[in-house]
Chains A and B, each alone.
Chain A
Amino acid sequence: MFDFIRGLAIIVAIFLIGGWLHTLGVPIPGGVLGLLLFYGALLTGALKLRWVDRAAGLFLRHMVLLFVPLTVGLMDLGPILSRQAVAILASLVVSFLAVLLTTGLLARWLLHPAAAETPEAGQ
């Protein structure tokens, strides 16, 4: 329980720091700034993975709950959605295929099998 609360406090504190940096003029959203700070702190060892593992796991497992309220807001957008359905769906399919194939083909070309590593390494 202590682990969990400590992790929660660390994550919320980093988010608030990210939001504060954003208000100071860094154009990237506060959450993403927090992500980068947190990643940096884990890489340098300033924060230990075991301090934050459980709290982070809760956020990640139940992230879907957190975007339910915004999705419910679709109920007010019926008219614009039906008028723009073709553009939205076409944009979705074209862009999905473009990202999938660009990334997949570039990765096939640039990531050589000789450099393959095992997923367990370093854990």
Chain B
Amino acid sequence: MTQLIANPVFSIALTVACYALALRLHHRWRWIPPVVVACIPIVAFLLLTHQPYAAYNRGGNLLTWCLGPATVALAVPMYRNGLALRSSLPRLALIVFIGSLVGMVTAGGTAWLLGAPLPVVMSTVPKSVTTPIAIEVCRQLHGIPQITIAMVILAGVLGASFGPFLLGLFGVWENRAVGAAIGASSHGIGTASLVRHSEMQATVSSWAMAAAGVFTSILGATFSIFLH
């Protein structure tokens, strides 16, 4: 069994199979995040067979590596949606930049005030942006990527479930404003939830999500230089 799980082909096949299952369940019950469902059988399998995470991750690492090219691919929706927003882009970029900065400071600040140790504080900082970028920023700040991932997913689910409602309470209804706020706070999960409401909201959200990722990594890199 140890040899089997340590074979990268096996752990990749296991992950793809669990992901395919999770997609089917997500198709049926939209509120179930696929990443959670995909992980449960894998964790159960590792616990039942007494295999360490490190053995599984020899194959898992290859999938994690692909997050890099996936980040690069974000340029495609950014370009396509940017074309539709031409004249608003400079202002939209400024708005998303300020939103990203506020998000990083409030996330790290809250965890720090509540007495969390430094690696946990750093893990909270990039929690508003899309997973592949958040992981990179977390690593640069010496945080714990798993904590960041959990927070990124929860931020996405919060935005998709309550974002437009909360914005409405503060009088924010206009399509582009809703799109910018959801994209900056809830990345891909929030953006996907807007597609059903309004094409304009989803377009702005998609651009804002990529821009928030870029700004957060620039701010994170700047901060990490000061840190050392």
Q: Which residues of A contact B (CB under 8 A)?
A: 11-12, 14-15, 18-19, 27-32, 34-36, 38-39, 42-43, 49, 52-53, 55-57, 59-60, 62-77, 80-81, 84, 86-88, 90-108, 110-111, 113, 115-123
Smallest Cβ-Cβ distance to B58: which chain A residue: A69
Kindly identify, within residues 105 to 128 of chain B, every residue whose CB is under 8 Å from any CB belonging to chain A.
106-108, 110-111, 114-117, 120, 124, 127-128
Map CB proximity to A onto B65-84 as digits: 1 under 8 Å, 0 otherwise.
01111111111111110011
Q: Which residues of B contact A (CB under 8 A)?
A: 11, 15-16, 18-19, 22, 34-36, 38-39, 42-43, 46-47, 53, 56-57, 59-61, 63-64, 66-80, 83-88, 91-92, 94-96, 98-100, 102-104, 106-108, 110-111, 114-117, 120, 124, 127-128, 130-133, 135-137, 140, 144-147, 149-151, 153-155, 158-159, 163, 166-167, 170-172, 174, 176-178, 180-182, 184-186, 188, 199-200, 203, 208, 210, 213-214, 217-218, 221-222, 224-225
- Shortest C-beta distance, B145 to chain A (Å), equals 6
Find out whether the CB atom of B88 lies under 8 angstroms from the CB atom of A69: no
From A31, A65, A80, A117, B84 is in contact (CB under 8 Å) with A117
From B86, B108, B136, A122 is in contact (CB under 8 Å) with B86
Query: What B residues does A115 contact at CB under 8 A?
Result: 87-88
Find out whether the CB atom of B69 lies under 8 angstroms from the CB atom of A59: yes
Query: What A residues does B150 contact at CB under 8 A?
Result: 71, 74, 81, 88
From B18, B120, B170, A105 is in contact (CB under 8 Å) with B170
14 A-B residue pairings within 8 Å (CB atoms): A27-B140, A29-B221, A34-B68, A35-B78, A35-B214, A39-B75, A72-B60, A86-B114, A91-B124, A92-B107, A100-B184, A103-B208, A108-B171, A111-B180
Number of A-B contacts defined by CB within 8 Å:
341
Known contacts A15-B69, A29-B137, A122-B83, then 9 further A-B pairs from the complex at CB < 8 Å, ordered by chain A residue = A15-B68, A55-B73, A56-B73, A59-B69, A67-B135, A92-B155, A97-B166, A103-B96, A103-B185
Of A11, A19, A35, A105, the most chain B CB neighbours within 10 A belong to: A35
- Shortest C-beta distance, A35 to chain B (Å), equals 5
Smallest Cβ-Cβ distance to B60: which chain A residue: A69
Q: How far is the CA of A29 from the CA of B214 in the complex (A)?
A: 10
Q: How far is the CA of A100 from the CA of B8 in the complex (A)?
A: 40
- Given A68-B63, A94-B106, A117-B86, decide whether A106 and B98 contact each other with a Cβ distance below 8 A: yes
Q: How far is the CA of A45 from the CA of B200 in the complex (A)?
A: 25
Find out whether the CB atom of B213 lies under 8 angstroms from the CB atom of A100: no
Query: What A residues does B131 contact at CB under 8 A?
Result: 63, 67
Q: How far is the CA of A94 from the CA of B154 in the complex (A)?
A: 13
